[in-house]
Structure 1
Amino acid sequence: MSSWKTFAAEAPELAGSVHARFAAHLHHVLATIRRDGAPRVSGTEVKVHDGDIWLGSMSGATKGADLRRDPRLALHSSPSDTDLDAGDARLDGRATLVEDPDTRARFAATLEDPGVMDGADLFLVDLDRATLVRVRGDVLHVDTWQPGRPVTHVERV
């Protein structure tokens, strides 16, 4: 597992494209694992800050409970363009609940309304994989990064 900073250092072009997809819209899709093992899909906001990727959850929300029980997750960018010219990004990783008051306060200070973090869960995401899918003509291009490995590129017609 790796930080966003590591991803950006190992695969700067791909990290820039993935970041652009997540920065293009406020709301994204988070997949977690329910208590019974079934997948759960929820809306979420994602922020890349200080070399890490962060996400929050309202206090008592099921997605936060899922992540505290089983930290595995997938984050999917909001695909806004129907032709996927800008790409469709996905991050796979694990979430760690941030309980340190100083870290929480520093993160909250980066928000438009720091008060939204009062009582909310804050998670730091460690990355296992980042994927960007783009369509060029009739060809699907899939670029994937995993920590310590070169970016792989697959084309499908």
Structure 2
Amino acid sequence: MKTKLMALTATGVLAVALAGCGGDGDAGEEGGPTVAIVQPAEGGTVAVPFTFEVDSSEDLGPTDTGNHHVHLYLDGDDSVYEVIESGNGEPIEITADSPILAGVADGEHTINVSLRNADHSAAGAEDEVAVVFGAAGSGSTGGSDGEEGTEDLYDY
């Protein structure tokens, strides 16, 4: 009798433990911070300067206030980035002076963002959009004089 009771108890404990591990796999992501690129749109054509807009579940602000901020970078290279301290519906103009645009050629690129804590450590949320840098065309989110060629990448 004692053996049956121990077996039933062990089975019950195992069932409870396994039930706690179940789920749809998204439980770790639920309730966590989010970040999304609003502008430019996926597949859009951009010319410099261009409008950048990000939306986050976290309040964004200057790092010295303890708020989160976003690192904006290109093509997955987060060693060169621009700190974005505002967002959540506030458009920002990215100009030719941005460090992320140094040496960028016309063509396809990926704009990446990473939500960061005030100390610049990753907060766990990222997003990216594929865009085409170059002469302004339909769907462009940047300024240009409308002429063809690489000189249109930067509209001073």
TM-score, normalised with respect to structure 2: 0.33
Structure label with greater radius of gyration: 2
TM-score, normalised with respect to structure 1: 0.32
Q: Give 1 or 2: higher strand fraction.
A: 1
